Amino acid sequence: MNEPRPAGLDQPAAEPLSSAAPPTQVFGRLFPLWARAFVRTRELGLVVVALFIGAVSGLFVTGMSMASQFMHETLFGLPRGLRLSLAPSLEAWRAVVVVTAGGIVLALLAKFVAPRFRGRVHDAIEANALLGGRMSIGGSLFITAQTMVSNGFGGSVGLEAAYTQVCSAFASRLGRELGARRNDMRLLVACGAAGAIAAAFNAPLAGAFYAFETILGAYSVASLAPIAASAVVSTLVARQFVDHSLLASPPGGDSLAPTAFAHIVVVALICSGLAIALMSTVASAERVFNSLVRPGWLRPAVGGLVVGAIGVAAPAALGSGHGAILLATSSEFSAMALLAIVVLKFTASSVSLGSGFRGGLFFASLMIGAFVGRCYADGTEIVSFTARAEPAAMAVVGMTALGTGIVGAPMSMTFLALEMTGDFGVTLYA
């Protein structure tokens, strides 16, 4: 028998496994009994379901990524294919008006739509820890819509949280319809998250380890095949639609010299402090908006005005930062210019999340960390008593270190560095 449905979620409880049901619809009706039995009694059944989850996750991520890029091109007047954070400049009125308009849309959603969802909508980590992998489809779609608005209108937030939310919720619902056991439900939710991250970064290893480290919280042989299957298939599907060139330029050359280890330790310490500061600043910004802006549902509009003004000075601070991260390995930008972008991105992300924009700091942490690593490497040229650090390598190390501090998944970040750069030597240090 399936467990009773927790209060506060909008989906009906699944019928008992013994109930008869026609083999027609996927949602709203049970799968045929033989399909449910196949999933519950055979390990191969879970792998087959994981393959399907991976394929759907790849489509979800690709569609959302394309929709976000279309919104950026349309709303900000960008040439086709140009990333928002790589735009050399934006029309001042457009930057301010568009991001503020996004805040107004979020304010209206908070005022009129959010009250329809009873209780708190849980993410994949909470659902696995507290609810046996049961997630709300309706609530997850609402969170995804909020995140799409936040990012599409230029808020300094990433889409990775929405990717994992909607893919994990789909996996959860599919598991309920198949009558999956509690542990299998948790595994399927992890498969959804693995597929989401793998498709987002063209990184199946990073996606798989993200699921192990953050969603399941443990490694197990039994979980390996389904999670790996979902991550690989999701990546293959996404590659059919999206150009997956390396997001960060590889350092090139041979592996780092042994003397680079001291530089790596320093960059890691700096980034660990920045990770704490970034999370603390987001909390402080939220307290400031809560105390100064009334009524509360208008906070995103005020935050959008502030972020839009920042975008006038530095378009690289807007959006998730997928384009701007390439600047970390570009010789066209000085360390001072990159440091200014770090400060503005840090501020824009804190204001966005603190004022009520929906999203995450996943990619923002990668971008800021890469810039910090590059700035550190350039700084070693000034100090005469130390060996010069390789700028591109330090950018990758900084990206990995700050990403680990924010996300809390060291193995996932390490493999992400490998899959984003294609440089195994640097990955050993990262």
**Each residue of 166-205: pLDDT tens digit?**
999 999 999 999 989 999 999 999 999 999 999 999 999 9
Query: Is residue 25 a part of any domain in this protein?
Result: no
Tokens 């792998």 locate to: 47
- At 42 the three-state DSSP class reads coil
For residues 74 and 213, state if they share a domain.
yes
CA neighbor of 327 nearest in space, from 378, 280, 271, 389: 378
Exposed/middle/buried for 181, CB within 10 Å: 0-12, 13-18, 19+?
A: middle
My answer on whether omega of the bond before 295 falls inside 30° of 0, hence cis, is: yes
Of 239, 274, 291, which residue is a domain's last? 239
In angstroms, the CA 393 to CA 399 distance is 10
In angstroms, the CA 54 to CA 186 distance is 15
Helix axes 43-76, 182-201, angle to 10 degrees: 40
Mean pLDDT lowest among 103-107, 270-274, 340-344, 384-388: 384-388
Longest distance between any two alpha carbons in the chain, whole Å: 78
- Rounded to a whole number of angstroms, the CA Rg of the chain reads 22
Provide the number of structural domains found in the chain.
2
Q: Which residue has the higher pLDDT, 289 or 327?
A: 289
For residues 282 and 158, state if they share a domain.
no
For residues 351 and 320, state if they share a domain.
yes
pLDDT digits (tens, 9 = 90+) for 126-175: 999 999 999 999 999 999 999 999 999 999 999 999 999 999 999 999 99
- Domain of residue 418: give its range: 260-429
The model carries a pTM of 0.88
* CATH value at residue 321: 1.10.3080.10
Yes or no: say if 62 and 242 are a contact pair by the CB < 8 Å rule.
Answer: yes
- Which secondary-structure segment (H or E) carries 425? helix 424-429
CA neighbor of 83 nearest in space, from 70, 96, 92: 70
